[in-house]
A = this chain, B = another copy of it.
Amino acid sequence: MNDAADGVTIIVFSGDMDKAMAAFNIAIGAAALGKEASMFFTFWGIKAIQKGNLTGDSFFGRMMGLLNRGGIERIGPSRFNFWGMGRWMFKQMLKMHEITPLTELRQTAMDLGVKLLPCQMSMEVMEIKKENLIDGVQPACGVATMLEMAYRSKASFFI
């Protein structure tokens, strides 16, 4: 069983590939040490736990879905994006140095018992449904639940 007292709570706000990598690495690091680790995916960060299909029903929802299309495989780094070139280059360097790709990092996190919490409000605003999220995530929740996790944790980060 994980040790809650020394846990880590991470708010994943960013939709950037490099920041998502950092977030998963921190969570995995904590879980590997036997600590509780929770990740709360909100705003653009929710992309990291989407399946990658187009989302949205309304005009705005579909536009947002189009801009935000693609799951964890399609997100670029926060710097030097160059219309996708940065993502490619960044991925090549990660590959060359045998750094675990984002999808595997996410799987490792889940295997180690890291809790992935989707933000209810973000799902509503961006018109993302439960079935648009990958399997194995926790039920959608709000700030209160996230804060409860943070209060139980020893360290909390907003990424």
Contacts and interface: CB of A to CB of B under 8 A. Distances in A.
Majority DSSP secondary structure for residues of A touching B: helix
A144 interface: yes
B143 A25 contact: yes
Contacts of A61: 93
Given A30-B147, A150-B155, A80 B92 contact: no
Given A89-B60, A93-B126, A157-B11, A26 B147 contact: yes
Interface in A1-27: 6, 8-9, 11, 13, 15, 18-19, 22, 25-26
Interface in A27-72: 28-30, 32-33, 35, 42-44, 58, 60-61, 63-64, 67
A34 B92 CA distance: 44
A80 B93 contact: no
Contacts of A125: 93-94, 97, 99
Given A151-B6, A159-B158, A64 B43 contact: no
22 contacts: A11-B26, A13-B18, A13-B22, A15-B79, A22-B42, A28-B143, A29-B142, A30-B147, A32-B144, A33-B144, A33-B147, A58-B96, A60-B93, A61-B93, A64-B89, A97-B124, A97-B125, A99-B125, A151-B155, A155-B156, A156-B157, A157-B157
